[in-house]
Structure 1
């Protein structure tokens, strides 16, 4: 919006009512011919908002004032709320967080996957809504000496002393790292630090001084998994056992394939249910841990291949073998087109898709459902309380 002289004018403020929450966690509102996406809102809020960015008839806005709070709005307990880009659902009570996540999944499935009729989506709540996060990436700014998380929508580092969602062992590690900064012992070349807590101890990457990228382990159900800070493991240990049970359920058969298998979270229990299991993982560190975890469990019927999933699927020769179950747990970006093509070429009897992003899950489901698969079930897991993120497990069966 420019004046006749070409000078930029301040973008307007508006009073709006939030209709619902959308994928990405933003609130939806309409006013003065605009569709507004409002950060850190609650459904039912009446807000005074500042338009931060305007794209045609779409406006992105932030809250200036809560005129009338929604019945589900609560006071965020974190002093960094609104600056830190991490927890964008702290303004909602926990029941509202859970409902919003189910609604986000439904919205993505309706809008992206064109699925008008969905089964009921049960969401498994986290036993802990705080101090649940067993993995973190902390950003470091050598100019400001700040250590924490990126601020919302920027690469400025929000300096965080206490993070309310970290498990105590990771909070202690954060405090130890901050002490390094105060003592001028923090390496200037380090731009970020990855840390993960096991049942005992913390693994940190990169390693220096007393911080080691050591092996840690977690006991999940009847299985034990070794890993370190350079290999992904699910962050909410309270729900992992239920997640594994839902993804595998009562599957049995001759051959199972586990794509993006990581350190073998699903590969190990699958090897107890199938005559043969093939895990595929592109990260060589995670792949070595998966092999180690299978060896430690004395499971000889499974093997792990270090390769890009799409390249392996489309380059190896299992076409003549019937695949009873194909499980995939891709990163947030979902499965690449080559992976979907490879899955359809293998035509497994059942597919179990574990996803941390409902939008990319819906995109991939649309392709699978159009190519001979039917939806059996959808289950959600609140692995990430206080954020809009949600883990989803979808089970599919080949129809022909």
Structure 2
């Protein structure tokens, strides 16, 4: 069945009509003429997996990555960047109901400061789109940059020389499971974390990754296919550093940090611009990304985070930046006395604000809320509740994830007087 792609869906796939069916076609552009042969159901949607592009849209550009169309990481590399920004702006307007400016990323290649690469019997690389068991073998990752190629070459040589067995995704057995690379884009410092099953990792690993500032060996002995584990040993530095504007952050294999350092600078500046008053509560504070940046600018900051390890990292980050910011372990639903703070910063997980927290906000009425969201749909839901007593003063979109459909949103809310 031949049909024309008329628009893109929220996930960045082209939308095609086949009879009465709506079928989503990966890696297509508006204006493509496609012939769809087979499709399957994916999360309540019909997604094409056997199709040909008969005529190419004039919108298309040549993707920089040779694995585009196979790897599931980037789905929009075939679109000019201005079209990607336009798509994300339209997506936000559809979800939130009003026009939002989207700030483009300062860099659209080499911008990611972390990638998690699968080591498997099917290859070393990224998941093939739409599968968990299949892997696209890669030599480098364009959105991470040059050091990915050097590290993957070293990994393959290391595994071959010492006959190290890759992980079998389907049978859940083997030794080498992931290589996770992290790079301070503003410091140049580089970390390699090798995640393995229980076993023995040769000490000679240091010789193969002698260009890294920090090498970790982490153990994941469970069947869970995750790219982190319990740190077993490290060589070189315990942490690498990243710098956002004038603030330095320590990076550990198991700590979360915004994955686009260049756009993260814009993000922390925007949060600081939206914050008001003197006393700030940084909820979901993580490693202190926002809280320490604000403390550096004279705000009195307290942070609450459910992950004890992240709290310890936040305290270390406060110490190395010589700022008075205090961080505590706690849950969002258990916070009290929000009225004590001039500004409440929330950066919740994709599920959004806990209902109990929303009720406390409505009860305690902090003057200013800065809501950082990675999920516009839950943001929209939370805003509908908060708008009972708050007005939206400003909202901005930030493209933290070029070539993907994802978008970060920062909203400033003020208490209605």
**Mean Cα deviation higher: 242-251 or 335-344:** 335-344
Does 2:181 match 1:203? no
Deviations 1:193-224 (A, max 9, x none): 33311223222334763323530111211111
- Distance in 2, matches of 1:283 and 1:195, equals 22
Alpha-carbon spacing, 1:178–1:344, altered in 2? closer, same or farther (3 Å)? farther
The equivalent residue for 1:349 is 367
Listed as ranges, the matches of 1:266-285 within 5 Å are 266-273=290-297, 276-285=300-309
8 Å CA contact retained: 1:132, 1:167: yes
**Structure 1: which 5+ runs fail to align?**
1-13, 110-114
Listed as ranges, the matches of 1:171-250 within 5 Å are 171-183=149-161, 184-185=163-164, 188-198=174-184, 199-206=187-194, 209-210=205-206, 211-212=215-216, 214-249=238-273
The equivalent residue for 1:392 is 409
8 Å CA contact retained: 1:253, 1:274: no
Alpha-carbon spacing, 1:264–1:359, altered in 2? closer, same or farther (3 Å)? same
Alpha-carbon spacing, 1:43–1:335, altered in 2? closer, same or farther (3 Å)? farther
- Distance in 2, matches of 1:192 and 1:94, equals 31
Please provide the CA RMSD for this pair: 2.4
TM-score (norm 1): 0.84
Alpha-carbon spacing, 1:174–1:279, altered in 2? closer, same or farther (3 Å)? farther
| CA positional deviation for 1:361 | 2.5
8 Å CA contact retained: 2:275, 2:370: no
| Aligned partner (choices 394, 399, 402) of residue 377 of structure 1 | 394
- Distance in 2, matches of 1:364 and 1:51, equals 39
- Distance in 1, matches of 2:137 and 2:189, equals 24
SS in structure 1 opposite 2:310?
helix
RCO (CA 8 Å, sep 6+): is it higher in 1 or 2?
1
8 Å CA contact retained: 1:254, 1:275: yes
Alpha-carbon spacing, 1:108–1:151, altered in 2? closer, same or farther (3 Å)? same
Does 2:109 match 1:125? no
SS in structure 2 opposite 1:363?
helix
The equivalent residue for 1:29 is 16
8 Å CA contact retained: 1:323, 1:346: no
- Distance in 1, matches of 2:412 and 2:25, equals 34
Alpha-carbon spacing, 1:190–1:367, altered in 2? closer, same or farther (3 Å)? farther
- Distance in 2, matches of 1:260 and 1:325, equals 14
SS in structure 2 opposite 1:172?
helix
- Distance in 2, matches of 1:272 and 1:345, equals 30
The equivalent residue for 1:147 is 124
**Mean Cα deviation higher: 37-46 or 341-350:** 341-350
TM-score (norm 2): 0.81
| CA positional deviation for 1:266 | 0.4
Alpha-carbon spacing, 1:206–1:257, altered in 2? closer, same or farther (3 Å)? farther
- Distance in 2, matches of 1:340 and 1:193, equals 39
Alpha-carbon spacing, 1:32–1:58, altered in 2? closer, same or farther (3 Å)? farther
Alpha-carbon spacing, 1:336–1:38, altered in 2? closer, same or farther (3 Å)? farther
- Distance in 2, matches of 1:131 and 1:385, equals 11
Alpha-carbon spacing, 1:63–1:21, altered in 2? closer, same or farther (3 Å)? farther
8 Å CA contact retained: 1:39, 1:63: no
Aligned residues: 369
Alpha-carbon spacing, 1:108–1:176, altered in 2? closer, same or farther (3 Å)? farther
8 Å CA contact retained: 1:138, 1:193: yes
Deviations 1:86-113 (A, max 9, x none): 011112111111111111111222xxxx
| CA positional deviation for 1:267 | 0.4
Does 2:138 match 1:157? no
Alpha-carbon spacing, 1:84–1:351, altered in 2? closer, same or farther (3 Å)? same
The equivalent residue for 2:229 is none
The equivalent residue for 2:379 is 361
